[in-house]
Structure formats: structure tokens, C-alpha cells
Amino acid sequence: MNSFRPALIRSVLAAIGACLLAFSLLGAPATASAASRAWAPADTAQIHPGVQMYTDGAQCTGNFVFTDGAGATYVGYAAHCAGTGAATDTNGCEAESLALGTAVTFNEGGSLISEGTVVGRGTLAYSSWDTMHKRGETDPDTCAYNDFALVKVAAGDVAKVNPSVPFWGGPVGINTAGTAAGDRVYSYGNSSLRFGRTELSPKTGISLGVEGNGWSHPLYTLTPGIPGDSGSAFLDGEGNAVGTLSTLGLAPLPLSNNIGDMAHELAYAQQHSGISGLKLVPGTEPFSPIL
């Protein structure tokens, strides 16, 4: 009996640790406040996961909705959406970014011809790239895969927000366990390159596992993410927020995508953004992984 007690204790402690991490990322106080808020109806909300976001002319896709301890509302996207370097930049510790406070718009119907209709406004409130650059971050995995930013929604536009992922519903929480090769994932991209056609926006795919000590999940979807889809939300098979679209893989896995791990990215933001009480908001619509 005594021979397996240390392993059992380690297993119990690991389970407790995972629960504590999940609680810190989706804590009860902020979640209760967010749940009681009168969010816009999911079917008419103009600002939501999957919304087009324009920053200094560059278009990306919003991932999840967040709140803070003061009740402000944020929409996440990729930090490289506010980058000022080359499109091929991937090291966030070396890349330059637009300043916090930069104006960002939420748009509908953007294409190569037009940015579409502005449905809301916000400001860049946090960028992992900007933060890592200023902090002098040196961890290679963090530098390579931490690609996450937050846009604070203007007070006058908060009533237009719903936290549900289009088509799929959710998120129901945050994935803190990662993914294994073969796990199903779900996403919703909204690139302006599709000229407003949303038939290919819902995506399902297969994780190839994790890399970068848990910071990244390489994966394949039936149609790969394209420029403009950057920042898109990814859900696991239970509807948990698992990642955010960062890069299109060229080698060694052509046409794969890499997503930054949501639990890692949010934990880093909670520690270094200066935004107190930062939490993910669950969707108001149930997760339904049926095409």
C-alpha cells in the first residue's frame, strides 16, 4: 500500500493545481458579474467572437470576450495584429508593436475592396508582444508563441457585445490540460479575403498535440486559417477555450496552423498587463459541435 502513496499524492496535487489554475483564469467573482450582465442577444450582437477587427488598416478576427474587476469589457485578438514589422515576424520579444491606446474598430462586411461598416470602437489595452519587449522576456517558448492582445470596447458600444462564438456556441470555460494528437477542435474565422462569404468561416480540425512546453498547439483544419483569420478563437471538444490563431505553418507541416494556448496567454496577461481581475467570459449560447 505504501509503495504507491507518493504517486497518488502527486496525482491529487496535480488535480488540485489544475482546478486552481482554472479557477484563477475563470474566477467566480468576475464570472458571476459577467453572467449577470445584460449581454446583447447572440443573434443580433454586433461585437462578438469572430468579429472583424481593424488596426491601422490591418484586419484580424476577434477571439473571446473578457472583463476586468472594474467591469470593463475587452475582445481578444492576436498581438501581431498590432505589429509594425514584417508579416513574417513571429518572435514577439523582438517585434515592434503599435502603442497601447491605438484605436481599433469592430467591422462587418470588410473585404479587399472596403473595410465594411464600423459597428463599434475600442482601444488597444494589452499586447503580449509590447509587454514582452518592454519586460525583456527571454524564455524562447514564451517569445515564440505568446501572441495575444486585448482591445477595450468603448463604453458606448458595450451594449452591442455578446461573448458566444458564432455557429458553435461557448466557450464554457478554459482548457487547462492542453490537447493530444487527434483531439477535435472548432473555430470561426472571418477574413476579409472571403469578401463577406461566411460559409467557410466555421472550421473543425484535428490537433497535432502541443509544442513549446504547452504554449502552442499545431493543428490542421479542413480549410486552413488565412490572413485576416489571425486571432480567431479555438474551442476543444467540450467547448472550452483552448487557443487563438497565430500563424500559418509552412514547414515542416505545410498548410497547418499554430494556435497559442489560451490558458498560458491569459495567465501571462493576468500577471503582466496591469488589468486587475481579468477573466474570460463564458458564452451565453450552449456549445454544439455539430456541422
Whether 4 shows a pLDDT value over 60: the answer reads: no
Partners of 76 in beta bridges: 150
Question: What's 187's domain CATH number?
Answer: 2.40.10.10
pTM summary value:
0.86
Q: Residue 99 in contact with residue 82, Cβ under 8 Å?
A: no
Residue 212 located in a structural domain: yes
Specify whether 137 is located in the same domain as 233: no
Over residues 224-275, the pLDDT tens digits come to 677 788 999 999 999 999 999 987 554 445 567 889 999 999 999 999 999 9
Specify whether 182 is located in the same domain as 251: yes
Within 111-225, strands assigned E span 117-127, 149-153, 173-174, 184-188, 202-207, 216-221
Specify whether 96 is located in the same domain as 145: yes
Specify whether 110 is located in the same domain as 224: no
Compare 288 and 195 and report the one with higher pLDDT: 288
Residue type, 43: D
Specify whether 232 is located in the same domain as 114: no
Q: Which domain holds residue 181?
A: 173-262
Specify whether 99 is located in the same domain as 154: yes
* Domain count across the chain: 2
Specify whether 130 is located in the same domain as 61: yes
Specify whether 203 is located in the same domain as 153: no
Over residues 88-116, the pLDDT tens digits come to 788 999 999 999 999 999 999 999 889 99
Q: How far is CA 23 from CA 157, 171, 175, 234, in A?
A: 29, 15, 11, 20
Specify whether 180 is located in the same domain as 163: no
